[in-house]
Each structure stands twice: as structure tokens, then as C-alpha cells.
Amino acid sequence: MGYIIIGVLGFLVAHLFDVVSLKRIPGAKQGVGIAVGALIGYATLMACLESERLALPIWLTWFGWALFSVSILLLVYSLFVNLPFRKTYVAPGVGDRLIRTGSYALVRHPGVLWYALFLVSLIFVSKSKLLLVASPIWLAMDIMHVIIQDKFFFGKMFEDYEHYRRETPMLIPSRRSIGACLRTIRHPGTESELQEGRG
């Protein structure tokens, strides 16, 4: 249970990222980012290593490895490629453009979708009973985090966020958003990019 609490603490600390971004505190984004990654990463690793195991068929383990690879690629793309890395995670402030292309045309917070896939893949690979309990709690914390971002932070950070919110689903893709995602991946620059955003 202690590892679950450490993971929850990581998601609570993540809220500071938006606060220090708005206040433009030099070096604070990196410090908060490292703390969040360390807390959630440590909790996840230790939950995977817990000794109590689920009795799962071997094919689910292989499927888990495939899903793990896909989820990691999607997370890296959405959080570190689709977004300008330096402006999003290193430079003080919030950047100057809202990214509305690629995975951010699919939903406003694609990282939550890929994180859910990542957790499912880890359950299949590790067969950890503790991770099975922790995953829905951590996913709920991640969803709560993006709801708070959506309601209280991103409207202040990005001038056209209200328009983006109206035209792009929050977490559940629509037929229109899937089309926009595929179109902007195939032909970058076909949709407007007004300010920098995050998932």
C-alpha cells in the first residue's frame, strides 16, 4: 500500500508543474518534473516487483510486451515529440503555441490514454497483484490532474484554449478527431497550431 501512496503523491506534486510554469520560476519546471518522474517511476517499479503474482496465461505476457512497446512509443511521441520539448519542460513559462496537431488533434490529453495502455501492459508483463490494485487509482489521479489542468490552468496559459476545448474531445476520441489526427500526422501544418499545449 505504501507504493500506491508514493505514486499518488507523485500525481499531487505534478500540479506544481503548472503553477511554476505560470509564475515563470527559473529551474522550477525541471525540479518538479524530476520529482514527479522519480515518485511515480519508483512506485511503479516497486509495485511490479512485488512478490504476489496473478495467474495469467503466457500469451497475455507476450501480448503485454507488445502493448508495452506500443504504449511507450505513443507516450514518447505525445509528450516529447509532438510537443516542443524545451519550451514545454525546460524553459520558464508556458511557451507561445498551442499544439493542436497529431495526437493533440485526437484528444486534448492523449498522454492519459497511452498511460492507461502502459499500466495494462505492465499488469500483463509483471503479473503483479499490487499493480492491479494500484493502476486504477493512479489512472484516476492522472484523469483528475488533467481535469484540473483543463478547468483552472490551460485557459490562463493559452489564449485560444476555449476554442480548442470546444472542437477537440478531452479523453474519448470522436470520428472527427480521429480524422483530424490522421490528417495532421500525414500532412503536418494542415491544422492551425496556435500555442503550445500539454497532454
Q: Is residue 171 included in any domain, yes or no?
A: yes
Q: At which residue does the C-alpha cell 498551442 appear?
A: 98
pTM for this prediction: 0.89
Confidence tier at 197 by pLDDT (50, 70, 90):
very low
Q: Is residue 6 included in any domain, yes or no?
A: yes
Tell me how many helices (H) and strands (E) the chain has: 10, 0
**Which tens digit of pLDDT belongs to each residue from 10-33?**
999 999 998 988 888 878 888 999
Average pLDDT, the chain: 90
Q: Is residue 79 included in any domain, yes or no?
A: yes
* Number of structural domains the chain divides into: 1
Which range in 80-89, 95-104, 120-129 is most confidently predicted, on average pLDDT?
Answer: 120-129
Whether residue 199 is predicted with pLDDT greater than 50 in this model: the reply is no
Quote the CA–CA distance of 180 and 174 in Å, as a whole number. 10
Residue pair 138/118 in contact (Cβ under 8 Å)? The answer is no
Quote the CA–CA distance of 103 and 134 in Å, as a whole number. 26
The predicted structure's pLDDT at residue 192: 44
The predicted structure's pLDDT at residue 23: 86
Name the region of 141 (left: φ>0; alpha: ψ -120 to 50; beta: rest): alpha
Domain that holds residue 90: 2-186
Q: Is residue 194 included in any domain, yes or no?
A: no
**Which tens digit of pLDDT belongs to each residue from 18-75?**
898 888 887 888 899 999 999 999 999 999 999 899 999 999 999 999 999 999 999 9
Q: Is residue 192 included in any domain, yes or no?
A: no
How many Cα atoms within 13 Å fall on the side-chain side of residue 184?
20
Quote the CA–CA distance of 181 and 100 in Å, as a whole number. 9
CATH number at residue 143: 1.20.120.1630
Q: Is residue 130 included in any domain, yes or no?
A: yes
Q: Is residue 78 included in any domain, yes or no?
A: yes
Q: Is residue 193 included in any domain, yes or no?
A: no
Whether residue 96 is predicted with pLDDT greater than 70 in this model: the reply is no
**Which tens digit of pLDDT belongs to each residue from 148-171?**
999 999 988 888 899 999 999 999
